[in-house]
Each structure stands twice: as structure tokens, then as C-alpha cells.
A and B are shown apart, each in its own frame.
Chain A
Amino acid sequence: DAGVTQSPTHLIKTRGQQVTLRCSPKSGHDTVSWYQQALGQGPQFIFQYYEEEERQRGNFPDRFSGHQFPNYSSELNVNALLLGDSALYLCASSLTGDNQPQHFGDGTRLSIL
């Protein structure tokens, strides 16, 4: 039973570029959440997707956007990259509903030069 898988594992970009990160949820899960973890910090909620719709967004600018596909996989897109976007981006999947635990992937390490 595969867990949450994310790709790529590492990525290096320059300021102003655009990036797409990918996530496949754990088998049977239908909800995907994205988090940003800056160095030395706890993860911060970016947004959550369910039934291909964004359900809630954290305090992140519109440069951050996402998508969920019919097979529940998801993408996170970041435009006009800034140095401050350097972080570990974590994807978590769960079953929709109250109190369902979120299962995390190993993340994508994004470095902006």
C-alpha cells in the first residue's frame, strides 16, 4: 500500500521562474492538503483540495495555486518565485470528514537562487 508520494524530491529555480510540484495521495484518500515548511519552522497550511475544488486557503498570496485531478492527485504551482519561497513543500492526504488523520509525503525541497 503506497503512501503519499511527491515529485520531484529536490528542485532548484531562480527568482521570477515558475514551478509545479506533484503529489499522489495515499490509496483510498480523497483530500489533499499542501503545507510550506521553512527552515527551522513548523509547516504552514497553504490550501486543501477536495472533489477538485479548493476548500480553504491559508495566508499565502495568489502566486500559489493548485489543482486536483479526478484521480485525487494534486499539483502545487508557484509563479514569480521569490527567494523567500525556498522551503520544503509537504503534501498530506486524508479521507474527507471530521478527525481523519493527515498522512504526509517526504516533501519537495525547493531552493531559489
Chain B
Amino acid sequence: AQSVTQLDSQVPVFEEAPVELRCNYSSSVSVYLFWYVQYPNQGLQLLLKYLSGSTLVKGINGFEAEFNKSQTSFHLRKPSVHISDTAEYFCAVSDWTYNTDKLIFGTGTRLQVFP
């Protein structure tokens, strides 16, 4: 069965500093990976996705992620964070079985950006 582990439940960081949110996955088949962001009292917004091709994926709001098959990781990075990046971030893997692409999510990482 596929699963996702987000290693940090909370990541505090000062504004304009770089940040990395870690995600590891387990999968026995070809994998499709996603990062979503959730602002307070809102749903999930897709930040970026890895389907195939280049292992470095660029997303919205200056975020990027690198797919590393040997390490089974898909860490999210941003070189300089803003206060507005404070939110919950979820890593997810797509489980394509029975012609259905359900998403399996990690438990989330709370990014707190301080001035």
C-alpha cells in the first residue's frame, strides 16, 4: 500500500529565510506526487505536482520540489519565505487503482513564518 510521511509537524522560520518541508513516500508502482497548501478555514490548493520527466518541479508562489526516487523523497523548498506563506502544507501520492486516482495524504506540516 502506498503511504506518505511528513517528517516535521511544525516548521518555524523567519521571514526571508529559506525553508524545506520534508516528505517521504512508499510506493510499489509508478508514483505521482503532489504538494497542497491549506490556509486557515479554506480547502486545499495545489502548489505543484510531479508526474514524470524533470525531477525538479516548479510550482506557484515561488515553491519548488525535487523528486528523488532513490531516497523516495519529494521535499518542498522555497528560497525566501513571506509572512503570507504561513499555512498547513500537505504532501500526497496518487494511488491509481481500480481506474480511480485517490490521493493519499501525509499528516501535514505547519509552516509558521515570523517577522
Contacts and interface: CB of A to CB of B under 8 A. Distances in A.
Interface residues of B, number: 28
Interface size class of A (residues with CB under 8 A): 20 to 34
Interface in A27-77: 33, 35, 40-45, 48, 55-56, 58
Nearest to B98: A56
Given A42-B107, A43-B90, A56-B97, A101 B102 contact: no
Interface in B85-115: 90, 92, 94, 96-108
A45 B107 contact: no
Contacts of B108: 40-42
A45 B43 contact: no
A1 B44 CA distance: 18
Nearest to B52: A99
Contacts of B42: 106-107
B17 interface: no
Contacts of A45: 102-104
A90 interface: yes
A51 to B, nearest CB: 11
Contact of B98 (A35, A41, A55, A103): A55
A103 B44 CA distance: 8
B100 A104 contact: no
Interface of A: 4, 6, 33, 35, 40-45, 48, 55-56, 58, 90, 92, 94, 98-107
Interface of B: 4, 32, 34, 36, 41-46, 49, 51, 90, 92, 94, 96-108
12 contacts: A4-B43, A43-B90, A43-B105, A55-B98, A55-B99, A56-B102, A58-B102, A98-B96, A101-B34, A104-B36, A104-B44, A107-B42
